Amino acid sequence: MTAPTASSPITAPRRISEIKLFLFSAACAVAVANGYYIHPLIAPVGDEFGVHGTLLGLVPAFNQIALALGILLLLPLGDRINNRKLVILFVAGQFLAMLAMGLSQNFLLFVAASSLLGFATITPYLLPAYVTKRVRPDRIGHVTGILTAGITVGLLGSRAGAGVLGHYFGWRAAYGVGAGLTFLLLCIIPFIMEKDEKLRDDSSPSQSYAGLIASLWPIIKVMPDVLIAGLLQALSFGFFLALWLGIGLHLTSPAMGYGVDVVGYLALLAVSNVFIAPWSGRLADRIGPEKARMLFAISQLIGALLLLISGDNIWIMILPILFSNFGGASMDVANRTILFGRAPEIRTRLMTIYIVIMFIGGGFSSWLGTAVYGSGGWDGLALLSILLASMIMALSIFGMRFRKS
């Protein structure tokens, strides 16, 4: 089959109000947070189930790999099936998985529920494609920044909230609160998404599910910059996950002696990225996303280098967290801006390619970060972070060759 070109025309309705945009951003925050409560809680979860080291690292790893699989198999349906129905179904799946994790009495059930949670976490990646079809092309970077800010709130808020709840009420309390927020989201979604949605031009032939999946490879061949964006985000997200899993293990180790609440407090310090993401989107609109992500790669590399001197001092650790989190969140904004500037009628498939690559990298890095910290401690984690950040910088430089004139 022939892949759509990057210049395929489409007329986008302009009907997303600022209030709805805020609600969509909040929906992304709640949905994405569910997969990351485990990060500050990984030590107490392992203690309760009697599992540690590499085996414990399978929990976040399987979650990320299942997420990549779910996106590969489910997200392309967004180009064919009413997005409102899909989001309601996926959020309901998340709600059931969160309940199962909070009630699990053995490790295998916990891993299975965590994997189901990952498989159903499609909402934060379907909604941006849905929303950006409904705004002017010159606002795509700005709107992407707002939605990415919501995702950042979820990523950081999950660590802060889970850390504090886990410290004072036990790790199961975090999953109970997460399930409650997910149920609230399930009630809100039907009111902010369109019941009747025109998904494609009626003059185009209907495409089967198998055709949607088969079209992914031709799209990659036609748009190599989409593959570059996915690889960059795989490295960037992998850096982020490996770092936070390492921080959770390091601060709660006997050598440091902190509780899981401290991991949550550090995550709160990085909340400044929520305000940076919209600025990053406007910068990508102004100077081009390829140039912007070069600047963001520099920030990540600085953060990785600072890890070498921060292992024994929690106050110095704040600096690499801020640099790396800012660079990582902004890198995602720049990469998504590139994707959302391409053919709107295949936007969910572009997101499928991007997110699948991203979470394969994230799943591998979740396991790798835990394993490297187990064998090499903080210094090993710092060296792994420097390696990942250096690869991000090199690939950002290479990606400049695909810049639009």
Say if CB 79 and CB 212 are below 8 A apart.
yes
Integer Cα distance of 263 and 41 in angstroms: 9
- The helix (H) or strand (E) run that includes residue 34 is none
- What pLDDT is stored for residue 206 in this prediction? 60
First-residue to last-residue Cα distance in the chain: 28
Gyration radius of the chain's alpha carbons? 20
Sequence-separated (6 or more) residues with CB below 8 Å from residue 154: 28, 29, 30, 31, 32, 33, 36, 124
- What pLDDT is stored for residue 31 in this prediction? 92
Q: What is the pTM of this model?
A: 0.68
86-107 pLDDT per residue, tens: 999 999 999 999 999 999 888 8
Q: Which residues of the chain have pLDDT under 70?
A: 1-15, 53, 196-207, 260, 264, 267-275, 277-278, 343-345, 402-405
HSE-CB of 76 using CA atoms within 13 angstroms? 19
Write the DSSP symbol of residue 244.
H
Say if CB 162 and CB 34 are below 8 A apart.
no
- What pLDDT is stored for residue 197 in this prediction? 57
- What pLDDT is stored for residue 269 in this prediction? 67
Integer Cα distance of 273 and 280 in angstroms: 10
* Residues, the chain: 405
- What pLDDT is stored for residue 14 in this prediction? 52
Domains observed in the chain: 18-195+212-402 (1.20.1250.20)
- What pLDDT is stored for residue 203 in this prediction? 45
- What pLDDT is stored for residue 335 in this prediction? 86
- What pLDDT is stored for residue 11 in this prediction? 44
**Tokens coding 353:** 């390619």
CA angle 381, 385, 388 (to 5 degrees): 140
- What pLDDT is stored for residue 99 in this prediction? 93
49-85 pLDDT per residue, tens: 888 767 777 788 788 788 888 888 888 887 777 888 8
- Residue 288 gets the label, from left (phi > 0), alpha (psi -120 to 50) or beta, of left
- What pLDDT is stored for residue 313 in this prediction? 81
- What pLDDT is stored for residue 277 in this prediction? 65
- What pLDDT is stored for residue 198 in this prediction? 57
Integer Cα distance of 104 and 97 in angstroms: 10
Sequence-separated (6 or more) residues with CB below 8 Å from residue 41: 162, 163, 166, 171, 174, 248, 260
- What pLDDT is stored for residue 88 in this prediction? 93
13-47 pLDDT per residue, tens: 456 777 888 899 899 999 999 988 887 788 788 88
